[in-house]
Amino acid sequence: MSDTEKKSNEPESDNFHRETVFHYSREHRLSRASPEVQALNEGTFVRPSFFKTLFATKSHRLLLFAIVFVVAGSGLAHRFTGRERQQDQGLRFGGNTLVMTIVSVEGALLLEMIKSAPQSGELYIGPVEIVVSPAGGSVAADSGVAPQVFTHRIFFNPVEIEIFRISLPFEETDFFVILNNNDEQRSLRLRVRED
């Protein structure tokens, strides 16, 4: 057998055992690289500004738009719901923090007050006069009819948290509430919250 026939009769798996020759050229590799990589290799690469990076691609622009949309939406939601939650944030009275709400429970109105004493400092302990009057039921002074007013007295005790519930004899939905002790007077407006 000749050598050519011998080579053709060899199994093809022997062809894989041949040495592979790599030709590596750094200049040729860099000629096919992106302009950023070429500039980085030459030492002339300038980092893009923050705004160019922010708006560089479509996905970056969409992400920025989504962030702005979420922040603006949460700000608007807080603005509109903040008015209703403002009464839940608390009112400082006599060194204590009061959270007051008027709720409608099975057709009856209840003034709920949660008093929280501060961890340190001075606080008021003693009687508190509460005056409640409907805001929408203003009566003209010359009509001779007195406005509807409900008064009640509670006592603040030296405990960390107290809860007061006072039944109101009204059928309105908007009220003025005045708190008065010997040294301080505070007023606020509350709307009925349905439970």
CATH code, 122: 2.60.40.1930
Tens digits of residue pLDDT in 40-80: 888 888 888 888 888 888 998 899 999 999 999 888 887 77
Of 166, 168, 163, nearest in space to 135 by CA: 168
Q: Which pLDDT score is estimated for 129?
A: 93
Tens digits of residue pLDDT in 111-155: 999 999 888 888 888 999 999 999 875 554 556 666 789 999 999
The residues near 70 (Cβ < 8 Å, ≥ 6 apart) are none
Q: Does residue 173 have a pLDDT over 70? A: yes
What residue numbers bound the domain in which 120 lies? 90-138+147-194
Q: Which pLDDT score is estimated for 119?
A: 83
Domains contained in the chain, number: 2
Q: What CA dihedral angle connects 158, 162, 167 and 173, to 10 degrees?
A: 120
Q: Which pLDDT score is estimated for 127?
A: 92
Tens digits of residue pLDDT in 15-25: 556 777 777 77
Rounded alpha-carbon distances, angstroms, from residue 57 to 37, 53, 60, 187? 18, 8, 5, 55
Q: Does residue 80 fall inside a structural domain? A: yes
Radius of gyration of the chain (CA): 39
Tens digits of residue pLDDT in 86-106: 445 578 888 888 999 988 888
Count CB-CB contacts under 10 A for residue 102. 22
Q: Which pLDDT score is estimated for 87?
A: 45
On whether both 40 and 115 belong to a single domain, the answer is: no
On whether both 101 and 71 belong to a single domain, the answer is: no
On whether both 46 and 61 belong to a single domain, the answer is: yes
On whether both 186 and 112 belong to a single domain, the answer is: yes
pTM (two decimals): 0.51
On whether both 174 and 134 belong to a single domain, the answer is: yes
Count CB-CB contacts under 10 A for residue 30. 12
Q: Does residue 27 have a pLDDT over 70? A: no
Structure token digits, residue 89: 């944030």
On whether both 50 and 97 belong to a single domain, the answer is: no
On whether both 40 and 119 belong to a single domain, the answer is: no
Q: Does residue 2 fall inside a structural domain? A: no
